Amino acid sequence: MKLNINGIVIICGNYGSGKTETAVNLAAKSRIEGKAVKIADLDLVNPYFRTREARGFLEDLGVEVVLPDKRYMHADLPILAPAVAGMIQNPAELTILDAGGDDVGVTVLAALGDFLSKREVHMIQVINPFRPFTQTIEGCIQIKEKIEASSKLKITSIVSNANLIDETTPEHIIEGYHFIREVSKTTGLPIEFITASSQMIPQLDMNQFHCPVLTIDRQLVFPWTSN
């Protein structure tokens, strides 16, 4: 199935869900397919995985990357660049907002409420069932409700980003797919897509997935890990 997402899309999730890696790859793949793409880094909490770390890669593809003012590039402060509001007012074919993790990270979205309320917004919750707090359906729902309460926005769809980084196997991807289907049945939220690394794709029977699959090429690493 072809992945086709347009409009203003907010990517959210709990810490360790892989939401930023998902956001970066969604932006890259969409741009490669010919879409005009903008992405804003609103993750002002997580000190490690941030969209800004992939800025060069994205800009080389032609993606417009919007970041906080340079004075706050490495600050954990709720600072918003005016460019983010302008980006919402003048969105590209696909405009991605990479929000912070958990309910604390998405509070910055509430400050954009006046701008977001005037637009149709899709808010996607990224779920990694192998991370703490999202190993059960109940845990996923609790994260969902906390994010919605803090952001003052409703999640509209879900994504499975099932992985154990370098220890991921095809079985993990399949297990994550079945898990996200159960979350979908329980919450009524549609599955937007699932993810799988480019190394996993050749090992998977894609016919078993009744939703799009986003190929992930890792662009972000821990600061203590060499490329």
The pLDDT assigned to 46 comes to: 60
The pLDDT assigned to 70 comes to: 56
Length of the chain: 227
The pLDDT assigned to 223 comes to: 41
The pLDDT assigned to 115 comes to: 87
The pLDDT assigned to 42 comes to: 83
* Distance of alpha carbon 227 from alpha carbon 223, whole angstroms: 10
Query: What global pTM score does this model have?
Result: 0.90
* Distance of alpha carbon 149 from alpha carbon 145, whole angstroms: 6
DSSP string, 1-66: ------EEEEEEE-TTS-HHHHHHHHHHHHHHTT--EEEEEE--S-SS--GGGGHHHHHHHT-EEE
Domain boundaries, given as residue ranges, for the chain: 10-216
The pLDDT assigned to 203 comes to: 96
Q: Catalogue the E-assigned strands of the chain.
A: 7-13, 37-42, 64-66, 94-99, 121-127, 157-160, 191-197, 213-216
Which CATH architecture describes the domain 10-216? 3-Layer(aba) Sandwich (3.40)
Residues of the chain with pLDDT under 70: 44-50, 68-81, 219-227
